[in-house]
Structure 1
Amino acid sequence: MSDSVKPVALTIAGSDSGGGAGIQADLKAMEANGVFATSVITAITAQNTRAVNQAQPVDLDLITAQIEAVASDFPLAVVKTGMLATADIIECVAEAVERYDLYPLVVDPVMISKSGYELLAPEAVATLRDVLLPLATVITPNLHEAGHLLDMTVRTETDMRDAARVLFEFGPDAVLVKGGHLAATDDAVDILYDGSDYHAVRAPRIDTPHTHGTGCTYASAIAAQLARGRSMPQAVEQAKAYVTGAIEHALPLGGGHGPTNHFFHLAPFEAAETPAT
């Protein structure tokens, strides 16, 4: 492959009709971080900035066919998973990961939307923990997801370190517990654990309600940076800086939590001048 060709990343996730999260956010974040992004859709959701109103999983045969189509034709440098919806889909994806050697593998254990809609069936949590986490290069749970996976409360930075250590025992190569929901902190801190060392990754906390899709965006940026050859700590640091900028320049669109601005680093939007009459 020519050095001038971008690395190729694959996201396996659900679709967000509002464009701020899910597969749409993944594709934007991956491309913004310098890779060519491909996709496999696992579920279709009807959602906007206010809420997820409905979701429908994709048939397993079609998910398998999508993965085969991409994996058989593209030199994949990284794979990221997001919304997987059901235990059957998790098992389907895990089987494909092993069959096609889909590594590095970034697993974002998407479980529930900001509006409270369940994006992962409750009975599928154990399957996610026992079947997919052991295959992961890194997992990226937020506080709620880490707590749900472990049946514990994660509220402090000490809790985050404890959760990362226990989650590592399920088999991933590294664990990133995201602290964006920590209460009363000036910094947004995440804890990366690789089985021996803890790395605290910090950035200023941005005071904005427009954070739709931040988890998807962060995990996808990590995946893209890994595809570009960064070490895990470097990939997380680069992705953290990127997602912080995307939040700082978030878009106040819709009537709820607006989306992050995936291309904030490009020239700002300027309305075209009205032609003179």
Structure 2
Amino acid sequence: MVNDFPQALTIAGSDSDGSAGMQADMNTFQRRNVYGISILTAAVAGNSYGIQASHPFPLDFVTQEFQSISDDFKIRATKTGMLADTPMIETVVDNLQKNDFGPLILDPVIITKHGAMLLEEEAFETLKQKLIPLATLITPNYFEAVKLIGVDIKNDNDTIKAAHALQNMGSKNVMLKGRHQDPTQSEVRDFILLEDGSSFWLSEPFVNTNRVNGTGDVLSACITAEVAKGSSISDAIRVGKKFVTAAIANQIEVGHKFGPVNHLVPFD
């Protein structure tokens, strides 16, 4: 029947080098056997050395993208990526409230894994107040979690408290990703707090490499794909953690500097 095949949506920018953004999401969707659909918010000119230029899309065009997708497809799960500024976040929130696009996986693209700020303060507050309450799952990295809760995270107890604070902001479930900046560390540990109050830790080996562009996109896209296929949030997170670890470990030599993870990694 029409629209029986699982469909997942990414609301994100286009990264011309393919390492992150819509391209990374779509590659991951395909690898996880769901049909990927995109609503683009911006286009970025960049490569493995960095970003050279970016161009946000008009808000009325973004709204039309939402309408066009809603008129034809059955979206079973949605994820967001970088939304740039307050007007874009507000446009996305307004359209998500008008359309049933399934559970929302919020990758809060606020700060890079190295600590560089990606959102202006006003846009950060808008994301915090308007988008997080719509989230089925939020997947912040260490720096993003610290920014959101306003308190440093120094140990496991702090991590657990931070996850509860994020849940109190409105997200039903929380995956607080562990740090991976220390080349001497042996593992990356994430803490997961579920809507029913249960929680658990996930650990996978740390891979010391500069081929890590798009790790957050691939993780959240994989989780979104699994949810679109009918998996629980808990099971989807477990698959996502293993998938992104495999994507990092099975390196591909693309680009001269900070290369992408392997979106098409062999994975059962």
- Give the TM-score category using the shorter length: over 0.9
Deviation, 1:43, is 1.3
Contact 2:74-2:101 at 8 Å conserved across structures: no
Instruction: Say what the alpha-carbon RMSD is for the aligned residues.
Output: 1.9
Which residue number corresponds to residue 241 of structure 2? 240
- Counterpart CA distance in 2 for 1:45 and 1:255 is 18
- Counterpart CA distance in 2 for 1:257 and 1:113 is 13
Once the two structures are superposed, residues 120-141 of structure 1 have per-residue CA deviations (whole angstroms, 9 ceiling, x without a partner) of 2221111101100000100111
Matched AA of 1:198: S
Query: Please, which runs of 5 or more residues in structure 1 have no aligned partner?
Result: 267-277
Secondary structure of the 1:258 match is coil
Change (3 A) 1:258 1:156: farther
Change (3 A) 1:58 1:102: same
Deviation, 1:153, is 2.1
Which residue number corresponds to residue 192 of structure 1? 192
- Counterpart CA distance in 1 for 2:112 and 2:201 is 26
Matches within 5 A, 1:128-167: 128-167=127-166
Task: Give the TM-score normalised by the residue count of structure 1.
Answer: 0.90
Contact 2:194-2:234 at 8 Å conserved across structures: no
Change (3 A) 1:160 1:252: farther
Which residue number corresponds to residue 209 of structure 2? 208
Greater displacement, 45-54 / 113-122: 113-122
Deviation, 1:118, is 4.7
Contact 1:250-1:258 at 8 Å conserved across structures: no
Once the two structures are superposed, residues 198-252 of structure 1 have per-residue CA deviations (whole angstroms, 9 ceiling, x without a partner) of 2111111112111000000000000000111111110000111111111111222
- Counterpart CA distance in 2 for 1:250 and 1:155 is 31
Deviation, 1:34, is 1.4
Change (3 A) 1:16 1:237: same
Which residue number corresponds to residue 177 of structure 2? 178
- Counterpart CA distance in 1 for 2:226 and 2:176 is 18
Contact 2:114-2:181 at 8 Å conserved across structures: no
Q: Rg: which structure is higher?
A: 1
Greater displacement, 98-107 / 113-122: 113-122
Matched AA of 1:48: N
Deviation, 1:158, is 3.0
Query: Please, which runs of 5 or more residues in structure 2 have no aligned partner?
Result: none
- Counterpart CA distance in 2 for 1:81 and 1:121 is 17
Secondary structure of the 1:76 match is coil
Matched AA of 1:188: V
Which residue number corresponds to residue 17 of structure 2? 18
Which residue number corresponds to residue 28 of structure 1? 27
- Counterpart CA distance in 2 for 1:17 and 1:116 is 23
Change (3 A) 1:88 1:159: same
Matches within 5 A, 1:108-119: 108-113=107-112, 118-119=117-118
Contact 2:10-2:38 at 8 Å conserved across structures: yes
Task: Give the TM-score normalised by the residue count of structure 2.
Answer: 0.93
Deviation, 1:152, is 2.2
Contact 1:143-1:155 at 8 Å conserved across structures: no
Once the two structures are superposed, residues 75-96 of structure 1 have per-residue CA deviations (whole angstroms, 9 ceiling, x without a partner) of 1111100010011111111111
Greater displacement, 44-53 / 34-43: 44-53
Deviation, 1:155, is 4.2
Which residue number corresponds to residue 46 of structure 2? 47
- In the alignment, structure 1 residue 219 sits paired with structure 2 residue 220: yes
Deviation, 1:2, is 6.7
Contact 1:108-1:141 at 8 Å conserved across structures: yes
Matched AA of 1:125: F
Secondary structure of the 1:224 match is helix
